[in-house]
Structure 1
Amino acid sequence: MITIVGPTASGKTAVATRLAYRLGSEVISADSRQVYRGMDLGTGKDLSEYQVEGISIPYHLIDIMPAGARYSLYAYQHDFHRVYADLRLRDITTPILCGGTGMYVEAVLRGYHLPDVPPNEPLRRDLSGLSLEELRHRLEAYGPLHNKTDVDSTQRAIRAIEIAEHIRQQRAEGVEQTEFAPIESLIICLDLDRETRRARISQRLRSRLDDGMITEVEGLLASGVSAEDLIYYGLEYKWLTQYVIGQISYEEMFQGLETAIHQFAKRQMTWFRGMERRGHRIHYVDALLPLEDKADQILELHTHWLQGTGR
């Protein structure tokens, strides 16, 4: 498998689909919000990029859940392995895993033990009065298992702590968790310098607002998705919903969201560098290279990687 990671606005989808085109492969998404239908601009699905040289590149784990639903790492791990097994049965020998949700990527590459965690109402009540920063500190006490790139709302942070506490209790009681085997993969990170990354993020935000991201959020609210549910998803949906329902001004929305996305991209890179400390070898490729040059470089790395693994 080839895994493409990188911060938001680094061009992951274009690289993944170009590789899939050249290898006759398919793309598996590793994005915690692209699973939701109708949440397109805000999650950066860029579905037009799945058309390469007139060929439709098959993709998986995008648009599999209704907006307003909850989707978990546990569900993603099981859905990923269902898709992965199907691809192998169809002789798709080099699936392309692509996304910026580091926890999703690492969960499948390392074969995390993950339980299906029920709600813990007493714990939720205990945590309900804490600030987001306090919740993040509480989560950090459980160790490196949890993906801080997704913890940008109190609801998400409380859920992450709930999962962490459940795992801690299960381990203390000696309860075995379901485990999938680790997957060997060439890992590529598309690398951008800080200033270029920030410029790209700001430009993309303006473009998506021009393309109708506010209208998208208005449509989701009109369809019956609650403001609370949209705010739960964080980033674009949190800030745009607050603007649409009149809690903040347009300027407050834009500045707050722009800052939040910059911070999110920084946390993504922190997570990927953490993966290296946890034993993953990551190859960095210049995100500013022409698309074909990036594909050539990655395929050359893949050839060497296959030789090194004895395949």
Structure 2
Amino acid sequence: MIDAKNTSPSDDIPLVVILGPTASGKTKLAIDLATKIDGEIISADSRQVYRGMDIGTGKDFADYLPFFAQDEKSTSGIERLHLVDIIEAGESYNVAWFQRDFQQAYKAIIARQRTPILCGGSGMYIEAILQNYENTQVPINQLLRDNLEQKTDEQLQALFKEKYKNDNQKPDTSTRKRLIRAIEIGDWMLEREINQSESNNIPFSIKHSIIFGISIPVEVRRARITKRLNERLENGMIEEVKNLLEKGVPPEKLIFYGLEYKFITEYLMGQLGYDEMVKRLEIAIHQFAKRQMTFFRSMERKNLKINWLDGLLSIEILTDQILNFIKNERNDV
């Protein structure tokens, strides 16, 4: 529940959403909020689901230790953090499976009369929950893929722009495989003309959600990304990718995961020098953060109201702002 001291148990416990670009401080804010409203965190990160992919995905488990310790029911934190480390690296995962896993975690949290906090930067995962996406995995079109494999990167980019020319939702196309998959999804969606009215036929939906976004100036975000990247490289991120390869995770799968795993794998395979790897990875992360913000803005154009917070303020102030916002909203009902 939001405020155990001032409110009675309610069947209408809201889903609190905390989103923002990479390096914006989402995790720390979610933890601080969860400790004050008796909440549990559901991760909305498409790569944190994988075991062994810790440093590169920014799991920052040290930040969770106080959060875990204050839970009398579970010293491991299992009842406080969800959808992290749920499958092996190298396996596949998609938005439809995330919807399924989210529903299970969400219902369990509500049953415990705690407040669910959905926190992450994977916009499509968050939007899938809030907009009640049709729970259907886009199937593989092998004939289309074979045809696309014959095309140059420039031709693929042209096709991609055609598929998404009227759509503000921009999938990750950081690798050739991701670009082909994006075209495949775009082709499937155009054929079936998936729209919101179709999505509304799904039984499960979130009745009440409050969305908060962390906004930080571009120059500050860029500085944080650069600093964090250097720290992760110094603290074992290359060794992490090397260990995954040694455990048998296919290089092409790590490359498919993108960003840190793509460029470090290419470095370990001798395709990139160290300096070139760091340079290209840093640029890619900056571009990724920009795409995240573009996606969040597109969510607002789909009538999802995001209450933006100043990411330069302290975590304590941001938490107080969220608590005051929720309190005022409840009083207005």
TM-score relative to the length of structure 1: 0.92
Name the CA shift for 1:307/1:153 in 2 (closer, same or farther; >3 Å).
farther
Counterpart position of 2:107? 85
Counterpart position of 2:251? 227
Pairwise CA distance, 1:152: 1.7
| Whole-angstrom CA distance in 1 between matches of 2:33 and 2:209 | 14
Q: Percent identity?
A: 46
Name the CA shift for 1:44/1:139 in 2 (closer, same or farther; >3 Å).
farther
Alignment of 1:55 with 2:70, yes or no, is yes
| Whole-angstrom CA distance in 2 between matches of 1:166 and 1:34 | 27
Pairwise CA distance, 1:224: 0.2
Structure 2 contact 255–265 (Cα < 8 Å) conserved? yes
Counterpart position of 2:5? none
Counterpart position of 1:96? 117
Pairwise CA distance, 1:171: 4.4
Secondary structure (helix, strand or coil) at the match of 1:51 reads helix
Name the CA shift for 1:31/1:270 in 2 (closer, same or farther; >3 Å).
same
Aligned residues: 304
Structure 1 contact 11–287 (Cα < 8 Å) conserved? yes
2:137 maps to a residue whose letter is D
Pairwise CA distance, 1:303: 1.5
Gaps of 5+ in 2: 1-14, 72-76
Counterpart position of 1:278? 302
1:68-117 deviations in whole A, cap 9, x for unaligned? 1111111111111111111112222x210000000101110110113123
1:90 maps to a residue whose letter is R
Structure 1 contact 106–275 (Cα < 8 Å) conserved? yes
2:41 alignment partner, one of 16, 24, 27: 27
Structure 1 contact 227–241 (Cα < 8 Å) conserved? yes
Pairwise CA distance, 1:288: 1.8
| Whole-angstrom CA distance in 2 between matches of 1:36 and 1:241 | 17
1:206 alignment partner, one of 203, 211, 230: 230
Counterpart position of 2:270? 246
1:110 maps to a residue whose letter is Q
Structure 1 contact 142–164 (Cα < 8 Å) conserved? no
User: In terms of Rg, which structure is larger?
Assistant: 2
- Counterparts of 1:1-311 in structure 2 under 5 Å? 1-52=15-66, 54-55=69-70, 58-92=80-114, 94-128=115-149, 129-131=151-153, 133-134=157-158, 136-141=160-165, 143-144=167-168, 146-148=169-171, 150-171=172-193, 179=202, 180-308=204-332, 310=333
Pairwise CA distance, 1:182: 4.2
| Whole-angstrom CA distance in 2 between matches of 1:288 and 1:39 | 28
1:104 maps to a residue whose letter is Y
1:4-62 deviations in whole A, cap 9, x for unaligned? 01110001000001111111110001001111000000011111111226425511111
Runs ≥4 in structure 1, deviation > 4 angstroms? Answer: none
